Structure 1
C-alpha cells in the first residue's frame, strides 16, 4: 500500500513509519523537519500541516491508499492551551480534508484525554469503570478539547467523502526501556498520591503500532473510535482499591478486577481482533532499538 504518515519523526509516528516500511509498504513521512538519515521504503517531506496548501500538496501528491495522522502537539504543558488547540484542530482539519479528496481512509491519534480527566485541574471520577468509547466527554483543557473536536471533524469527513476514519484513543504512551509513567508513579503510597487523570493506565508504543496496523486491515464503516491501553495498571496493585483511596470513592458502577486497566479495550478486541501484548513488568527494562533513521 501507499501510506502517508504524519508526525513521522515524532515519538510514536517514527515507530509507525518503521513498522510499515519494514512490511514493504511505500511510506511518505511528513513532519516539520526531515530526519537526518534515509530509510528504505520511506520518503520524508517537510511540511507544516497547519497550512492548508502545504497539507493538501504533501498528502495528495503521493496518492495514498491510507493516511495515518499522528502529527500535532501531544499533550498539555508543551505550549499554551490555545496554541495546542489551534495547532491540533487545524492540522486535523487539513489532513482529513486532503485524505477525503484523495479517497484515502484515515487512522489518527485521538486520546483518552477527550474524556476530560487527564488534564483537568482536579482529576475527577468517571461515570463508570472501566471507561469505554461511549463514556461522556468533558475536557477542560486545550489538548483534550482538540481531540474532541478532531473526532467531530473525522465524522464530518466521513459524511462528506465516504471514507472511513478510525480514531485511536491511546492512554499514556510508553517506550521500551523508558517507561516514564512507572518512574513517576514509583514509589506509590495511595494515602498521599496525587490523583491520576489516566488512573495509572498506559500503553506500549508497540501496541499503538499494532492497533494502527489492525485498523488498517479492518473493514471499518464510517467513523469509529478505539481505546488503546495495556491490560493492567502501572502500579502492581488492585486498580479499584487505588482509585477508591486516592479519589475518596468509586463510581457506583464499577466492574474492575484486580489490576485491570481503567480503560476498556473490548471494542478493539472485538472489532479489530487486536489485543495489547506488552506489560510494564517486562517492557520497563527492555532493550529495543528504536527507529534507526532518527538521531540516537
Structure 2
C-alpha cells in the first residue's frame, strides 16, 4: 500500500514511517520542518529515546498511549483531565443554536487571529499550503 505520513520528522512520525516500511508499505514522509532531535528536559534527569513501534497501523484513537517523557505524560494527563471533565459535567453540544462568528478562512474553526496580526504582525500558519507562494514553492 502507498502511504503518506505527515509529521514524519516527529517522534511518533519517525516510528510510524519505520513500522510501515518494515511492513512492506511504500511510504512518503512529509513534514514542514527539517528533523530536530530534542529531548524533554527536567533538571537533573535525562530521558533517553527508546524505540517506539505502534501495536498496529494506521494508529487511531483507540491505540494505547504510552508516554515516555514528562512532556508526553503531561499531554496525556491533560487529555485524561478533559475526558473526566466531559464525563462529569452536564454540558452538551447545541449544534446550530450557537452562532459562529464570521471568519476569513474555512480552516480557522471560527478562531480569530486578527488581534495578533494587528498588534504583532503575526501571520498564522494552519496548513502546509501557508508555506507556499503563488507558484507552489516554499518561501
TM-score, structure 2 normalization: 0.36
Q: With a CA cutoff of 8 Å and minimum separation of 6, indicate the structure with the bigger relative contact order.
A: 1
Greater fraction of residues in strand = 1
Q: Which has the larger radius of gyration?
A: 2
TM-score, structure 1 normalization: 0.19
